[in-house]
Structure 1
Amino acid sequence: MSGPMCDDCFIGVRHEGEPEGKIDQISGVECYVGTPAGDHDKAKVVLFLSDVFGIPLVNNKLLVDDFARNGYRAVMPDLFQGEALPENFMSLPPGSFDREGWVGRHGPESWTSALDGVVAALKAEGVTWIATTGYCFGAPPAWHLALKGDAQVTVVSHPSRLRNPEDLEEYAQKAKAPLLINSCEEDSSFPAEAQAKADEILGNGRFAPGYERTYWPGCKHGFAVRGDMSKPQVKAGKEGSFEATVKFLNKYKGLP
């Protein structure tokens, strides 16, 4: 899993809101956790696998809280060993920091152990159903857990760093978790040809566990987490993709 990251992976708009979750340590990994206010199934967890801005970005924490409001305990682990990009980097011009150096430090070898540790700890406390929601950078970690058999459901939104068609084919051949891809019109990390290839490999019943893809016109890479909510099509894409994600989780929450 070493596909491209694009300029839009590193820019966006900060959203307004006050996070309601808390920071916790799970298997020694810093995590932001959103917990439903009422009764909820403690055996089910949504693992929120973030973009490059991770826990520090309020947008990510607000989305975790949104999953909690929809009845799921949601956990966002730090995939970056404390080196998530600060939110002010969203407004920096390309070339103003060593992007390639940062990306090079955060390949699968950097996050696999921490992520596997969090999953093992959740299972040890009685979690039996894990859904992943991977945004941008978070897509390969979502793939990793599906291919290992640790995820019961997979959702990725404007994924980056997936190879086309190799990673799509590997998912089709090895994964058992139903897959939802939230895609958009302008996305050099997961462009139209990759979207079409995903449909070709996984669609029309070819992937027996289940496959769906949403498409949001007028949106670009990052829309589901860092989009400009003052633009009607982007707002519709952000809210619609979240709604589609929750519907997909609910559809498959009975899976063992």
Structure 2
Amino acid sequence: MQLFAFISLLTAVRAIVVPAVDSSGHFHSPVPLDVAPQGKNVTINGVLTYVSLPKGKFDPTIAVLMLTDVFGLPSPDNLVLADQWAAAGFATFAPDYLNGDALPTGGNITAWAVNHGEAQTTPPLLAVVSALKSRGVKQIATTGYCFGGLYTTRLVQNNTIAVGTMAHPSSLNVPTDFELVKAQSHVPVEINNAELDTGFTPALAVETDGVLGDGQYPPGYFRRQFDGVGHGFAVRANASDPVQVAAKQGAFDTSLAFIKKHLK
């Protein structure tokens, strides 16, 4: 945890901070009534965690660690997304690193963020990572959404995981966070960004490419932009909007392919 704090200090020195997008800036879609979460909540190393397992055989030495957006485990969209990872063949764990205090729909993210800095959210996250490794998980693939993109980046920077993907990340420092990745990590990184995102804008995405793209990051880097959608698109989509539906599925498929490619 001290290393996480040290990295936070370094990244504060310079760079643009990607703002956390307010609740009103996210698309909020109801999960269709015929879709219900398939996993269950369990306590892992003292942390409430949504666990979704494949229905068939799977490799117990590999796990997907899904880091949710600010709406956390109370959001059925997040749970159904975790189930999608399980359906792809991975034991999937979504820890409540928000400490039982997810942002409610319509909540004020500025006020909420005061009690959800890295000092509060890192310990439960690392507790689950530690528990998974102690239970025989050899490779952790982390996928982070919005707020979870920051923590995916931290785990990449510290070489804690095998591969990291993220979608419309927030709260990062650009380019400094990715310069740290380039300087000290050997973990492959993939990013899905949105054309209409007011947080991780296309301009910041291109700046990230300037650090990691064009072969500058040997472990592996890929970014894909989805046009016509905004922040939160990889978690929620209006079922009546084919652009949103295709973008959400496309982000999942892109991250899945990247993870499969880079797991050893």
TM-score, length basis structure 2? 0.90
Match of 2:245 among 231, 235, 242: 235
Shift of 1:163: 1.1
Aligned match of 2:68: 50
**2: CA distance, partners of 1:202 / 1:138:** 20
The residue type paired with residue 212 of structure 2 is L
Number of residue pairs matched by the alignment: 246
**2: CA distance, partners of 1:177 / 1:39:** 27
**2: CA distance, partners of 1:253 / 1:133:** 13
- CA deviations 1:46-74 (Å, max 9, x no partner) are 00000011111111111111111111000
The residue type paired with residue 70 of structure 1 is A
**1: CA distance, partners of 2:108 / 2:75:** 20
- 1:134 correspondence with 2:149: no
Match of 1:146 among 147, 151, 156: 156
The residue type paired with residue 73 of structure 1 is A
Shift of 1:10: 4.8
Helix, strand or coil for the counterpart of 1:105?
A: coil
Percentage identity across paired residues of the two chains: 37
Aligned match of 2:97: 79
**1: CA distance, partners of 2:26 / 2:102:** 11
- 1:192 correspondence with 2:205: no
Aligned match of 1:226: 236
- Contact 2:212–2:221 (8 Å) recurs in 1: yes
Aligned match of 2:11: none
Shift of 1:14: 2.4
Aligned match of 1:3: 18
The residue type paired with residue 72 of structure 1 is F
The residue type paired with residue 13 of structure 1 is S
- Coordinate RMSD, CA, aligned: 1.4
Aligned match of 2:85: 67
Helix, strand or coil for the counterpart of 1:112?
A: helix
Shift of 1:79: 1.3
Distance 1:206 1:63, change over 3 A: same
**1: CA distance, partners of 2:118 / 2:169:** 15
- Contact 2:103–2:109 (8 Å) recurs in 1: no
- Contact 2:82–2:94 (8 Å) recurs in 1: yes
- CA deviations 1:174-218 (Å, max 9, x no partner) are 221101100111111101111101111111111000000111111
TM-score, length basis structure 1? 0.92
**2: CA distance, partners of 1:83 / 1:110:** 11
Match of 1:14 among 18, 27, 30: 30
Distance 1:10 1:183, change over 3 A: closer
Helix, strand or coil for the counterpart of 2:200?
A: coil
- CA deviations 1:62-91 (Å, max 9, x no partner) are 1111111111000000011100123xx1xx
